[in-house]
Each structure stands twice: as C-alpha cells, then as structure tokens.
Amino acid sequence: MMEYVGPAMGLLFTLENIIWINLGVFIGAIFSAIPGLTVILCVTLFLPVTYTMSAIPGMMFLLGIYCAGGYGGSVSAILINTPGTPHAAATMLDGYPLSQKGRTKAALKIALEASTFGGIFSALALLFLGPQVAKIAAQLGTAEYFMVCLFGLTIIAGVSGKSLVRGIISACLGLLIACVGSDPMTGYDRFAFGSNRLYLGLDLAVCLIGLFALVEILSKAESRAKAQNMDTSKLKDDGRITKDEYKRMFLPTLISSFIGVMVGIIPGTGASEASWFSYNTAKNMSKHPEEYGHGSVEGIAAAESANNAVTGATLIPLLTLGIPGDGTVAIMLSALMINGLNPGLSLFTTQGDIMYAIMIGLIVINIFMQIQGQLLTPFFAKVVSIPEEILTPIIVIFCFAGAYSVNENYFDVGVALVFTVLAWILRKIDLPPVPILLGLVLGKMTETNFRRALLVSDGDPSIFFSSIYCKIFVVLIIVALAAIIRGKIKDRQAEKAAHAE
Amino acid sequence: MGFKSAHSSLFIPVCVIFVFMEVMPTMKENFLDRFYARLDTLGEKLQTKELRIPVNITAGVVFFLFALFILAVMPQQVPISEGDAINGRSFPTLLMAVMMLCCAGLVLKDVYKIITKKPIEWKVINLNTEVKALVIFIILLISFFLCIVTDLFVVGSIFCCLGFLIYFRCKKPSYYAITLGIAVIIWVAFRFGLGVEF
C-alpha cells in the first residue's frame, strides 16, 4: 500500500484536480440543496463533461458532486422543512425544529461537520478495506464473475421498486439494451436495425440523460414545485455548539458512520436506508430519546454522518468487483472504464497509483466540502429558492448539450429523447429505472463472463455451481431473494393494515 | 454552415432578450392571456377524464410482446457463425426467456386475483397530465429539430427557454433575460471550455 501512496499524492495534488474537486463539491451541494433535483440527475448531467478528462480529475469531479450531494440535501431540510434529497428526510426531523428554535446556523454546522466526519470515515474504510476485497476478487473466474453480476442485479432489481418481478423485467431490459452494438466476443453487430450509429452501441451517458434527467422534465406535467422563499434572516444566530453537545454527538456520529459503511457496502442499499437506520439506532441508544423530533443535535448528527458514510463504502464493491453500490456510483463506473480502468485487483496493482489517488482524493473532497460548507452555506441557502421556470429549461439545455457532446452528433440527442419516452412509459406501469441502469452498466461484463464460462465448460451450465465462490454467491442470491420477498410481504401487509384503518 | 459563428450565436439570444423585454408587456395582455384562458378551459375538461389500467397485466402483456418481437427479429439482427454453440444470440435469448417468464408470472398472478375476486393493482392515468407531458415533449422535440435544421445549438436552446417559460406562464421579463443568458453561458462553456463544436 505504502509504495502507491507517494506517487498517488503526486498525481492527486495538482491545481487541475483541486479545481475539479471544488467545482464538483460546489455543483453537488447546489443541486442537492434544491428540492426535486437529485444527485443521480446531477451526476448524469455532468458525466459527459468528464469524457474529455483523464481518470483522476474526472473521478474527483464526480465524487465531489456525489459527496457534496450527501450534505447539500440537509440545507433545504433544515431551512425550509423540505429535504433536498430523499436521504436528508431523517435530518429534517430534527434539523427544522432546531432551526425553528432560532439555531439555524448551529443545525447547518452540525449537519456539515457530521457529514464530513462520516465521509472521511468511509473514505478511510475504502482505503483499508478496498485492497483486501480486491485480493478476494482476484481469485474469481468467469463463472464466479457472472454470479457476482447476477447477485448485484438481483439485489438492485429487488429493492428498486415495489415488485421483485417488475425489477427483474427492468434489469433484463437494461441488459438487452447493453447488447446493442458490436458483439464483445465476435465483433458482429447486434440489434443495429440497419443504423450505422447503432453499430457502436448506445452510450451510457446518453441513455441515462433520457432515463433519469429528461424524464424529470416530463414529470413537471404531474406536479409543479411550489416556490420556496428562503428567509435569510434565519441565518443570524451565532451557530455555537457547546462542548456538552459535541460530547453527546460523538458516539451517535461514530456508530452511524459505521452503520453507513456497512449499509453502503451492500449493493442496492443506499444513503436513505443508512440514515433512517442510524437515526433509529441513535434514538434507541440515546439518554434523551424524548428530544428526537424536537431539534435533537444527536438526531441531526446521526442521520447526516450515516448518509455521507455511504459514499466511500459504495465504492468498495465498485472498485473491487465492478458491482456498483447504488445508482449514482454505477454511472461513475463508466467514467472509470472510459479511461481503461477495469475494476478488480489489477486496478489496485497495475494502476495502484491512480486508484490510491482516487481513494485519498475522497478524503480531500470531504475536507473541501467542510471548507465550502462553512464559507458558502448562506449562498446554498439562497439557491434553494431558484424558481422552477428558470431551472427547467436550463436542465434541458444541459441534457441536450451533454448528449450531443458525447460523440458530437444530434443522433445521440435523439436517442436520449427516445429513452425519455421509454422512461415515461415505464413510470406509468411502475417499472423501476434503476435496474435498467445496472443492466446497462453491467451488461457487457455479465454477458462476456456468461459466454466465456460456458465456452470453458463446453456449454455445461453446472460450471455456475462448481467452485466454492460460486456456491457462496448462489447462497447469497437465495438469501437476498428470501429477504427481499419477506420484506415485500411485510410492506404489503402493513399497507393493507393501514388501508383497513 | 457559414452562419455558424460565435458572433451569430450570441447575436440571436441578445436580440431575443431585447424583443422579450420590450414586447412581453403587450403580449401578455393580448395573445398570451387568451391562449392561457383557452388552455384552462381545455385543462378543466381533461382533468376529469381518467384511464385506469391494471399495472401488472399491462406491464406483463407489453413486455411479453416485446420479448416475442426481439426473439422474432433475432435471426436477422444477430448474425452468428455456424457451429458456435454459445454465440451472440445465447445471452439475449436467455434474457428474453427470463423476461417472458416474469411477464407470464405477473399476468397469471393478477388473473388469479381477478378469478378469486381479490383486489388487483390499478394505475390511474389522468388525461390532463398526459396532455401536459405531451406538450413538454413537443417543446423538447421542436428544440431538437431546430438544432438539427439550423445546425445551431443556440437556436434550439432559445426555443427551449421560451417554450418552457411560456408553458410555466411566466410573465416576468427578468426571468426571460436570466434564462436566455444562462443558455448562452452553457453554450459558451461547452463550445469554448470543452471544445464541443455546435
């Protein structure tokens, strides 16, 4: 490890990287502070920008957005009682009441400091756990890799929507779309329908712009966000946090960061689950549970540290196995692959300096997030009230410019529009889009390993159950499926009970 | 296109901003107000019209047919070498088989529920919402075609800004100026910052 740290520092600490980190943090915080705009939308919009960059600045920019997105959601949650991102909902429970007590600045400061702590904690977990998991990943063959992909897809399909079966249909659709273009093993074109452009396949960023960004514009037809007027006079308190409050927050922050890391490692789970789980754990452990929901400093710290502790942990399965921990990091995988960085042990050995630069960079991102948060929070607060009339066309122009810039042709913009219609139809029939994203990202890897394994075994499918790792993944898939089905049944029963009442 | 230059790209939005700052106050009292009034009447009529679709059956049937279509076109769309047991068709065929199984499962589950008179999942589709979504999509589509026809990204961007501001019934000239200004900034950032030719 130490042999890579020195060169990694040299690669990381350049003016270019520092600028991209700060730009990413700034944009991520703004996007997530505005209710209705999500981190995944932001990363989708800015992914094409990274196509012209090398691996480190590109990843630093996207990770900056991702990490700051974890914090930015809390700004609107505390100020206007509306979480900027879904995972800031738990923060809102205590953040807004504390703000109502005249301690807005203090609430924002707690959220920022807890986010930074959680983020750095998870970056350290990535730094130390990542290479160890990668060593295990190095022992996996093609059959095992197929099972890993299957495991990731199963979990994402299961947790993404109301129905596991509908999730599987979405995942199959994503995997099929990934088949468009030249065959990864023979080079023959597939599903090109006579179009020269389709021969090269569909670019992930273009598909995502339609699936996640432009469809949000269509959803303006469903409802319009009310204009949020932020009263900046709220930010007039001194923002002081007492020693006693720091003492009370330390343990919940530490435990929540640990929970965030554990939740983040599991593919398919994300910041929302981590923040709610941590919030409840902290409440159960607290000496003052009655304060929760009424402006508890512990509550804010627990929720915020957990949702930012997910950021580094989701990268562990991504960088070691190529399985994204959540939808947002799935997009980042393409930013890595475009620079020839394929997940696995080789990434930690042959390109160890780049990998360590990215992992150390995550710590630096959190430090800059803290600095920007301290200096720019009043500005982020004002951004919350940007009217929808201005924001909507700007997002569309960004989407068009992003889709066009991938290959510098309007065909890609057309493809993005086709995916917008597809996403709208899927929404109407309750098919979740995240498994499609996973299918798109993992498609080539899943198919290549599937076919290679079968070629090795002369078409005998028992190869997928042959090794100990395969068996472990089969058990994991069964356990995951059982847990998902059990969860769905419980949800349905709870829904029925609520309906009966 | 010789017309495609930085000056012309900047000239258009500046003109549009000027025209809107000057003309908007008169426009809103005449044409736009009548236009919005007509839309309101139409919206009121559509608001009450709803379609109820059984989610599982619809999703199941649509994607079952989709999988059948893919399997049908597979021989023409996926060429293979003779004698390869595992080829370019194996994986998509497996996917479509899984998709069809899942679709059949969804449909059968709901058919069973209907037979046993248990409630099934319905999705209510409001026609007013769908028409609004269609209008938004038309704005996107026209912006896209304007970009292609003129080969000037900024023309499509201007239409997009105006289209959405009118859709949102925005009557503040300053919003028009800000949005068009930002549209130009985005074009400048991509054109000169990232070197994208459009």
Assess contact for B106 and A183: CB atoms under 8 A. Answer: no
pLDDT the model gives residue A231: 57
Q: Which residues of A touch B135 (CB under 8 A)?
A: 221
Confidence (pLDDT) at B22: 59
Contacts of A183 in chain B (CB under 8 A): 78, 88
Cβ distance of B95 and A172 shorter than 8 Å: yes
Question: Could you identify the residue written with the tokens 């099934």?
Answer: B120
pLDDT digits (tens, 9 = 90+) for A32-86: 887 777 788 888 888 888 888 888 999 999 999 999 988 888 888 888 777 777 7
The shortest CB-CB distance from B194 to any of A49, A165, A389 is to A49
For the stretch A168-181, pLDDT in tens is 999 999 999 999 99
Does A226 score more than 80 pLDDT? no
Chain B residues whose CB is inside 8 A of the A166 CB are 56, 59, 102, 106
Distance in Å, alpha carbon of B175 to nearest chain A alpha carbon: 7
Domain map of chain A by residue range? 2-142+204-409
Residue partners of A202: CB distance under 8 A and separation at least 6: A177, A180, A181, A415, A440
Which of B59, B183, B195 minimises the CB distance to A397? B183
Write out pLDDT tens, residues B33-83.
777 777 778 777 777 788 899 999 999 999 999 999 999 999 999 988 777
Residue A360 in tokens: 């150390």
Cβ neighbour number for residue B58 with a 10 Å cutoff: 18
Tell me which DSSP letter residue A201 carries.
-
Per-residue H/E/C for B166-180: HHCCCCCHHHHHHHH
Which residues make beta-bridge pairs with B50? B126
**A205 contact residues in B (CB cutoff 8 A):** none
Q: How far apart are CA B62 and CA A124, in angstroms?
A: 47
Is the predicted pLDDT of residue B1 greater than 50, yes or no? Answer: no
pLDDT at A178: 92
Per-residue model confidence as pLDDT tens digits over A120-153: 999 999 988 888 887 877 788 889 888 888 888 8
Distance of CA B123 to the CA centre of its chain: 21
Residues facing residue B126 across a β-bridge? B50
* Mean pLDDT score of chain B: 84
DSSP string covering A55-70: HHHHHHHHHHHHHHHH
Please judge whether B136 and A190 are an interchain contact, meaning their C-beta atoms are less than 8 angstroms apart: no
C-alpha torsion B151→B152→B158→B161, nearest 10: 70
Give the closest of B77, B86, B161 to A454, CB-based.
B86
For the segment A304-333, what is each residue's pLDDT rounded down to a tens digit? 999 899 988 888 888 888 777 777 888 888
